[in-house]
Amino acid sequence: MSKNNNNARFYIDGVWVSPVVPKLFDLVNPATEETIGAISLGSAEDVDRAVIAARKAFPTYSQTSKQERLVFLRKIIASYKERFDDIARAITEEMGSPLWFSKKVQVQTALDHFEEACRVLEAYEFEHMMGGTRIVREPIGVCGLITPWNWPVNQVASKLAPALAAGCTVVVKPSEMAPLSSIILAEVLHDAGLPKGVFNLVNGDGPTVGHAIASHPDIDLVSFTGSTRAGILVAQTAAASVKRVSQELGGKSANILLPDVDLSKAVPAGVMRSFTNSGQSCQAPTRMLVHQDQMDEAIDIARKTADAFIVGSPYDDKSQLGPLISKTQFERVQKLIETGIAEKATVVAGGAGRPAGLNRGYYVRPTIFAHVTPTMTLAQQEIFGPILVMMSYKDEDDAVEIANGTVYGLAGYVWSGDIAKARRVGARLRAGRIYLNNAPHGKAQDVEAPFGGYKQSGNGRECGIFGFEEYLEIKAVIGYDAA
């Protein structure tokens, strides 16, 4: 876990410091509902200290060479690997992810982002000629990174790694609900010898620390991942200083099963992907669209798949799903289940309450609703729990219309026995990422391909060269080659 009890301190200008005004916030293990410690919640004054440090470090760090930054990144990777298991245990403790999943997916994917940042930086050309003009890309400046609790260290890494590679300095605010893994990550960066002031971490809540970051005049870019509601507030706050805002927000992704699919494969895979991370994933395919003539067969397969899921202690290797993050999230999901029942959707599996034998912890029954119509609450609102809705369609045009019929556009999924059909339908979906025929998450292509949304799912991109260029400003030097 964290070294030297750093949980109640912030990492600013290369050292661990106490908050300006102490304000403790209890951390609760969602599997046991027991308090496991406390962190300090920061203030605008703490953010200001961090921004001053980042601003002071920027002139020097921004001028480091590619090779110097590659050395820093490779030292971070080596230090990260030494703390790999510590970070995994912290994630399991703070947000309930099964320990095997924390290791195999949560922590590993974050490491992949640092390795991808090295690959991008090695090959990237920051300057080129365009006629007689020199086009120069340079680090944008001090960046505020505000991250969520569902993929705690991964979401920090997906922003931090390219920001550091680009030559930016940063102030990070992880979610106060799941800060432990980020505290260890700060220790990783310190041990790697990153220059002081380049990375700063201030814990706190959104209305205080998040607002202070978004409104700070000396922050040049805010990268935010979270709910659409909170993202709107961040953008409104940041607008006063005309800083760049990059956002990855909510999702309600559709999974279209075309009539020629093998339902025995497509339905279980769709259920599995919807329930991954206990359904607490923004790009989860939470709306399964099935041809109306195949709905009864698909429902039967989905029911059997959901009923076979093992929900239990995140420390048990057999558990596929752990608890939700908090009591608040548990109660929100329960209310949405009750709403689905009230709106006359058919409960295929699961339902309200905890799974049998789990009377403590924020566990939710893996739940499937069928005969959900496009106007129902469950078809429009992001739930963030292991809840899948099944919707019928008449033909391909109808399926595309339903899939595009929400305010979100983060991801889309298409299954077909004919890859040409899958490509054709995927091209019609208004979403930032399209997965064809169960293309896997968590592979190298995931940290290379751009990630971000259309519509109210956001306005920026993360991962690979696309995420890297979010942290660069463009300068045109005209007359560069004049005699």
The token pair at 55 is 């601003």
Per-residue tokens: 7: 């949980």
Per-residue DSSP letter, 27 = E
Q: Is 168 a catalytic residue?
A: no
Q: Compute how many other C-beta atoms are within 10 angstroms of the C-beta atom of residue 63.
A: 11
Q: Which residue in 116, 176, 187, 248 is the catalytic one?
A: 248
Separation CA 91–CA 83 (nearest Å): 12
Contacts of 378 (CB under 8 A, 6+ apart): 336, 339, 340, 343, 345, 369, 372, 387, 389
Sheet harboring 127-130: ordered strands across?
127-130, 133-139, 472-477
Residue identified by tokens 């924020």 is 362
* Active-site annotation holds for 118: no
Quote the CA–CA distance of 66 and 289 in Å, as a whole number: 47
125: CB partners within 8 A, 6+ apart: none
- Check if the beta carbon of residue 40 is closer than 8 Å to that of residue 10: yes
Chain-centroid distance, C-alpha 460: 13
DSSP assignment letter at 387: E
Tell me which of 143, 168, 282, 463 is the catalytic residue: 282
Nearest to 247 by CA among 157, 147, 165: 147
Going 337 to 341 to 342 to 344, the CA torsion angle's sign is positive
**Pair 138, 472: CB distance under 8 Å:** yes
According to DSSP, residue 478 is labeled T
Q: Comparing C-alpha atoms, which of 87, 106, 86, 95 is closest to residue 36?
A: 95
Catalytic residue set: 248, 282
